[in-house]
Structure 1
Amino acid sequence: MYRFKDEFKTGIEQVDLEHKRLFEIADKAYETMVDEYISDKYDYIVEILNELKEYAQTHFKHEEEYMLSIKYRKFFAQKMEHDSFIEKLEGYDLQTVDENQKEVILELLDFLNDWLVHHILESDKLIGQ
């Protein structure tokens, strides 16, 4: 379901490759949600949350370094959005994840969909211009 398309390209090769990986992690979350053969998805959701958080931190570091190197004027707004993304992921309570697996993964997918579409198209694409 989640595929990195040309419309999401910023024109910055490293950023685009890292965005593609974020789409892959989002797709992994989607595939976990629709997999009817996994009745208890807790471990999968926790793994996705951890992978997403770790990868996003690496990606944001690279993206922020690039923005600083070009003296990008909207750096601080971007940094605040990045920090908010990580805070959201860190805010998941594991007991809540365990008790409400379906709701949590749906919320996570909604959050990722909003982030991947809006943040990349409305914020990150401006970096490459």
Structure 2
Amino acid sequence: MISTTIKSFIQADLASVWHSVTSLYDYSWRSDIKDIEVSDERHFKEISHEGYVTCFTITVLKPFLKYSFLMDNENFSGEWTGHFRQAGNGTEIIFTESIKLKKWWLYPFACFYLRIQQKRYIADLKRKCEQA
């Protein structure tokens, strides 16, 4: 299993950051996805601009503290967990993603890919939450 963690500070209140991350309907700020299809309160699918579909099952939803879900697509399965904490005039976030690859030839690229995805997500989230 491959695991990466990213920690960041966002200059926005905890509620704004939490709602941005957990909303399945307001995702226009995300540069990595084209659409989200919601099945029910615990299951949804994200469709990337390239057409990849990833299925999600929410496993933990502790408002303003922790958000976690299982992920599965044709290339990997795994878990993502986000921890949230009010810190001064902003919000501290810690996101951890752990995946198991389904194709052996993806292993040399997986850690690099995850880190790029995490940085992109954080940059998008900061743009969304820190805008005046």
Normalised-by-shorter TM-score class: 0.3 to 0.5
As a proportion of its length, which structure holds more strand?
2
State the structure with bigger RCO (CA 8 A, min sep 6), 1 or 2: 1
Larger Rg: 1
As a proportion of its length, which structure holds more helix?
1
TM-score for both structures, normalised by structure 1: 0.36
TM-score for both structures, normalised by structure 2: 0.36
